[in-house]
Amino acid sequence: MQRRTPTSPLLSLPGAVPAEGRDEGVAAHYGDPFREQRALVAGRGFVDLSHRGVITVSGDDRLSWLHLLLTQHVSELPPGRAADALILSANGHIEHALYLVDDGTTVWAHVEPGTREALLAYLESMRFFYRVEVADRTDAYAVVHLPAGSIAPVPDGVVVRETPHGRELFLPRGDLEAYAGEHGPPAGTLAHEALRVEAHRPRLGHETDHRTIPHEIGLIGSAVHLQKGCYRGQETVARVHNLGKPPRRLVFLHLDGSEVHLPAHGTPVRLAADGPEGRQLGFVTTAVRHYELGPIALALVKRNVPVDAPLIVGTTAAAQEPVVEP
């Protein structure tokens, strides 16, 4: 049975509205999602991501061992350098996504809510004779996102992942309320997700399903290293990269702003010329409201959908921009 991540104490802040679905346990917003987006873009505030799982891998063999399991080249990962990595099935389908950094003695990683127990079970099953210790640190540490351009100080001793999109802190969970009081204003997951979709960044469980391969959502290079040694699923990665094309591709959609409701995850995508009863060519993965762009979305569509074809999402008109080229 999946252990629940502790509910964030920041849900008691004024205006906090709880998130639902995969982001349950933290705030969706604190009263004004558009204002929160603008603050993040300006480098102000933070996002409480304390619902994400936190795992650590310590021991002398931690990097060489992870190198055998992950799609990323981490055997010589310098301390402090962030890396994104996947664990694939034997058929090359994405099973786990890890966002990691090594502090010189321990690898820290945060993962999607609801995935940590399956990931930990897999890692434990692969330990064999390696000198590694795998631990679930979710109850003790919370992930906090500081946007790019933030000048908020990082408390002494806190492990940080520096990325182009900002800094991710592995903050002691007991310090979360005090940190929020000093470094607000807080922004909710709706603001964080809107900026993620604008940046075309896929998320496990949103832009992936049981058969997604890394090529379909643009993770070759960023999370999949093509010149490293063997790992589970590598044959599929190499075959598609060298000999073929993925069956689907990620697209960015501008949605008709006159619609009141956003399309839900899984809403069918069709050619506008075929109408709402036409053949389904894909589905929406994440739809959000952006403070400047209006309603936007990411979607997975068949590779052969013309890149200039007008689309409809359910009954909503949509214009597409390729994220993954056909």
Annotated binding residues for substrate, written as ranges, equal 168
**Vertex 233 angle, CA 250 and 59, to 5°:** 110
Q: Which residues are annotated as a binding site?
A: 168
Question: How large is the greatest C-alpha to C-alpha distance in the chain, in angstroms?
Answer: 60
124 closest CA partner among 114, 134, 115, 116: 134
- The dihedral built from the CA positions of residue 36, 37, 42 and 43, taken in this order, carries a sign that is positive
Residue 108 belongs to what H/E stretch? strand 106-111
In angstroms, the CA 326 to CA 238 distance is: 17
- 69 in Cβ contact with 231 (< 8 Å): yes
In angstroms, the CA 140 to CA 135 distance is: 11
Residues in CB range of 18: below 8 A, 6 or more apart: 11, 24, 25, 26, 27, 28
Three-state SS for 167? Answer: strand
- 111 in Cβ contact with 122 (< 8 Å): no
Q: Which two tokens stand for residue 229?
A: 């040694």
- 19 in Cβ contact with 26 (< 8 Å): yes
